Chain A
Amino acid sequence: DAKTTQPNSMESNEEEPVHLPCNHSTISGTDYIHWYRQLPSQGPEYVIHGLTSNVNNRMASLAIAEDRKSSTLILHRATLRDAAVYYCILRPYGSGNTGKLIFGQGTTLQVKP
């Protein structure tokens, strides 16, 4: 499975945008890029995913590089509730793979008031 690389930690001020980077230089053409986050004392929570084009939803935006070797999760206005560990995960297309996620160490986001 292709691997992802994320910074261990990042800090942000409340109500400012946050850009969380992820490198995935060995991504294959059929790998989807998923982001999950885990708030303290909770299970992971889906944030967003994409394949080639940038994506937006109510939680965040996902910017994918043209060569797909990196991506950035964008939180437009960080709140204290966004303090969590953010995981960037590659998901291959194909049978037998969808229930299996390979979690790295993720990025611990600290949001300051």
Chain B
Amino acid sequence: KAGVTQTPRYLIKTRGQQVTLSCSPISGHRSVSWYQQTPGQGLQFLFEYFSETQRNKGNFPGRFSGRQFSNSRSEMNVSTLELGDSALYLCASSLTQHSGANVLTFGAGSRLTVL
């Protein structure tokens, strides 16, 4: 079956612009999470969506937002881009929400460069 698909894979923006990243989860997966990966901070949790509702949020400013559609596809948006937002943005999907045994499947990521 198809894996987690993230688009675009690479993009370049300038400071002050905004960006929207898209994630299509594995068919049947209802939970979608987003992560930011930078060399300095490593992998950090951004937020999680389940049934179109944000269920968890990491420690990021309000410029980072997301949403989930009825088909479980998700988008994340970063407004007023800063140089420090340059990172690999990863999306992960999983089947159910209520279990610590739940396994996440990650996409290949969207590499954002802010100039």
Give A residues with C-beta under 8 Å from B. 30-32, 34, 36, 42-46, 49, 51, 87, 91-106
Number of interface residues of B (CB under 8 A): 32
Q: Is the Cβ of B101 less than 8 Å from the Cβ of A49?
A: yes
Q: Closest residue to B97 on the A side, CB-wise?
A: A98
Shortest beta-carbon distance from B1 to chain A in Å: 15
Q: Which of A42, A46, A97, A98 has the most CB of B within 10 A?
A: A98
A interface: dominant SS: loop
| Interface: B114 (CB within 8 A) | no
Shortest beta-carbon distance from A9 to chain B in Å: 15
Contacts of A30 in B (CB 8 A): 100
| Interface: B96 (CB within 8 A) | yes
Contacts of A45 in B (CB 8 A): 106
Q: Is the Cβ of B56 less than 8 Å from the Cβ of A32?
A: no
Shortest beta-carbon distance from A105 to chain B in Å: 6
Give a binary string over B57-91; 1 marks a CB under 8 Å from any A CB, 0 the rest.
01000000000000000000000000000000010
Closest 4 A/B residue pairs (Cβ): A99-B48, A43-B106, A93-B100, A99-B33
Q: Is the Cβ of A99 less than 8 Å from the Cβ of B31?
A: yes
Q: Is the Cβ of B45 less than 8 Å from the Cβ of A97?
A: no
| Interface: B94 (CB within 8 A) | yes
Q: A99-B31, A100-B45 are in contact. Are A91 and B56 (CB under 8 A)?
A: no
